[in-house]
Amino acid sequence: MKPIQVGLLGIGTVGSGTFNVLKRNQEEIKRRAGRGIEISMVADLDVARARAVVGPDVQVVDDARAVIQNPEIDIVVELIGGYGIAKALVLEAIAAGKHVVTANKALLAVHGTEIFAAASAKGVMVAFEAAVAGGIPIIKALREGLTANRIEWIAGIINGTTNFILSEMRDKGLDFDVVLKEAQRLGYAEADPTFDIEGVDAAHKATIMCAIAFGIPVQFDKAHVEGITQLAAADIRYAEQLGYRIKLLGITKRNHKGIELRVHPSLVPTKRLIANVEGAMNAVVVHGDAVGTTLYYGKGAGSEPTASAVIADLVDITRLHTVDPLNRVPHLAFQPDRMSDLPVLPMSEVVTSYYLRLRVADEAGVLAQVTGIVANAGISIDAVLQREADEVGGEGSTQTDLIILTHETREGTMNDAMAQLQGLPTVLAPITRIRKEELN
Ligand code: HSE
């Protein structure tokens, strides 16, 4: 049988990885897919670079629409990224009856509802394993492997850049700005790292996992997004002393009122495996009611790890494209007419525990005032750590750091308590609040 024909839109890092892995492992992949998979056309603005990657036998053009309109092409792989032209091209490819593979988390997190609806109407597949956690097959695991479960929560290190920065901050005791510059010099962080360090990239990925886990539409606009730019080396050190590491987690969770969807730095007990995921690696923990807690670990970015996910999608489509569209695995795991309207909750309704660091006057009664406010708010304290004033502010200092770990409470309750604490004349600086996840 003639190989299924694939057209790439963009042949940068992931595209060239896809071309190379497909070529290197073609026999093995064909034995699995039941049919050859051939990249026969590539569109890239840099035609010379594309030609250098694919050699003389693949048609190279500078116009993506030439790929989409080519009747010989069965699957279009979108590797352009972003919400702009990529959205128009994906919708045009669907309208032209092509199956689509994309690594574009931003596009799906923001416009997924429109894109999946268009694909369903046209009877084509949109596959996106590479959009979340690169080479880790987390979409496959959530959508198929864990399909028996009522998923309770997911927590993931799903941005390698920020995990690299946090690992360096902890290892070397350095502040965020210093490590970011070093990460940029080494190529671990982009020249404009905003999407990574502000948590936006992780929130795109968490949004997609949330939709698949709970069978709700993708709702990036409802995600709480907080990055790592405000983290101080002191908090990483104090967390360590209390038995925790600080990680940027993408979290989605059921609580009794709805669905939590949030990205923010979190204290995680050092004894959890995920707390020991270092450098640019990714890891996702999924808790299902039947299976319990499962952990997926691997490279979340890079040429061949991401290509591994793109090609897995190509194999799926090759196997399934002749199947009645109604019998394929639904895009978001649940049948489109059985999606839930569970709300994504505002942050004030999130339930979690907390690390608070207060810079206080080192004088009699301060600890009692602070713990009194926390207790009156109905928040239970788990642990308190107070440093020697000399250690914090130098010889003869009259200030010290008071660290409080709490048990779970509503974020709205914590906001009220923090406002009262901040009003105390003995609290001398803005309070640092970091959420804490036990993940047990
Ligand atoms: N920039 C991402 C990261 C990889 O640092 O993990 C692509 O999503």
Domains, the chain, in order of start with CATH, read 4-137+303-338 (3.40.50.720), 141-299 (3.30.360.10), 351-436 (3.30.70.260)
For this structure, is 247 an active site residue? no
Q: Whose CA is nearest to atom 4 of ligand 1?
A: 301
371 CA → ligand 1 middle, Å: 40
For atom 2 of ligand 1, the residue with the nearest CA is: 159
Q: What is the pLDDT of residue 397?
A: 80
How confident is the model at residue 189, as a pLDDT? Answer: 85
Question: What's the CA-to-centroid distance between 160 and ligand 1, angstroms?
Answer: 6
Cβ 201 under 6 angstroms from ligand 1: yes
The pTM of the full predicted model, rounded to 2 decimals, is 0.96
* Beta-carbon contacts of residue 189 (< 8 Å; ≥ 6 apart): 161, 164, 165, 180, 183, 196, 197
- Residues in Cβ contact with 400 at an 8 Å cutoff, skipping those fewer than 6 apart: 359, 360, 362, 386, 387, 388, 389, 392, 393
Q: In this predicted structure, what is the pLDDT of residue 188?
A: 82
Is any ligand 1 atom within 6 A of the Cβ of residue 196?
A: yes
252 in ligand 1 pocket by Cβ < 6 Å? no
Atom in ligand 1 nearest the alpha carbon of residue 300: 6
Non-local (6+) Cβ contacts of 52 within 8 A are: none
Which pLDDT score, from 0 to 100, does residue 387 have? 79
82 in Cβ contact with 58 (< 8 Å):
no
For residue 300 and ligand 1, the question of a CB distance below 6 A is answered with yes
- Mutational test site, ligand 1, from 107, 192, 201, max ligand atoms within 8 Å of CB: 201
List per-residue pLDDT tens for the chain, 440 residues long: 999 999 999 999 999 999 999 999 999 999 999 999 999 999 999 999 999 999 999 999 999 999 999 999 999 999 999 989 999 999 999 999 999 999 999 999 999 999 999 999 999 999 999 999 999 999 999 999 999 999 999 999 999 999 999 999 999 999 999 999 999 998 888 888 999 999 999 999 999 999 999 999 999 999 999 999 999 999 999 999 999 999 999 999 999 999 999 999 999 999 999 999 999 999 999 999 999 999 999 999 999 999 999 999 999 999 999 999 999 999 999 999 999 999 999 999 999 999 999 999 999 999 999 999 999 999 999 999 987 777 777 777 889 999 999 999 999 999 999 999 999 999 999 999 999 999 98
Cα 162 to Cα 247: distance, rounded to the nearest angstrom: 8
Q: Whose CA is nearest to atom 7 of ligand 1?
A: 301
Identify the pLDDT of residue 391.
74
What is the C-alpha separation between 423 and 386, in angstroms, rounded? 20
3 state SS of 126? strand
Q: Identify the active-site residue in 98, 140, 205, 253.
A: 205
Model pLDDT, residue 226: 98
What number does the ligand 1 atom closest to the CA of 105 have? 8
